[in-house]
Amino acid sequence: MKKTFRQKLKIAHLYPDFLNLYGDKGNILALTRRLEWRGLDFELENITIGEHNKKFSDFDLFFIGGGQDSQQSDVAKDLAIRKNELKAVIEFEKPLLAVCGGYQLLGKTYQTSEADEIEGLGILDVYTEAIKQENTDKQDRLVANVVAELLLPLSFESELKTLVGFENHSGRTRFSRQDSATKPLAKIIKGHGNNGEDGFEGAYYKNCIGTYLHGSLLPKNPHLADELILRALKCDELPSLNDEMEISTHKVLIGSRC
């Protein structure tokens, strides 16, 4: 990889008017601030339903957040039209971070708590089922502060080896098969993760990352933010930042949750 930086990094925030729960927009703020602090030029653009004139191939880095079932259904219909277009940028190894509902839509299928099945994009080799509490109409949600050991290999040395965040989801996400090219993002230390059973949180394929961690994720995990930026820029290092406060906050959060 080359150390030289592109003239401008183009970031696409997908469906922010539909999928933006629990402070998910903070992930965009973290990415753009860390670029600004380094003096790196970028352009941020929102892409929503029907804006098919904005080609995914023109962007370097993508983010999609979480939403309610009805919002996911609306987004899923639009993404179905752009399925091959989004798959192409993932195969070209452009980074995408998807949180909660966005994560579920990247899988093969998502079954709502009303037993309606939403077809996913099949980029991540996972499927999701929303669960109801027994003998009620209420969703059985997995809600917790999360600490997890990061399994995604970083392309730089970092003092931080964990992820911290907040989860609140009724969906149980499972890997379709053990020998898949889709791998777990992290191993649960505290919290529920994908399904509360297998001990894993999130998933990744190439540079496409799915996770249930809100809160927002990237301000609490600056090493993951930098990894996304590095992969988007296709370089092997970034100008250094003083992350003393971010690292201290991350460690304090771990101490309060374990």
Q: Are 65 and 31 in contact (CB under 8 A)?
A: no
Strands 162-169 and 200-205: unpaired
The residue behind tokens 């777990």 is 184
Q: Are 104 and 76 in contact (CB under 8 A)?
A: no
Helices assigned H by DSSP within the chain? 25-37, 69-81, 83-91, 101-106, 217-220, 222-233, 244-257
Structure tokens that stand for 17 in this block: 């008017």
Q: Give the side-chain half-sphere CA count within 13 A for 211.
A: 31
Structure tokens that stand for 171 in this block: 């969906």
- Catalogue the active-site residues: 100, 214
* Number of residues assigned to the chain: 258
Q: How far apart are CA 117 and CA 111, in angstroms?
A: 4
Which residues in 26-116 belong to E strands, given as ranges? 42-47, 61-64, 96-99, 109-111
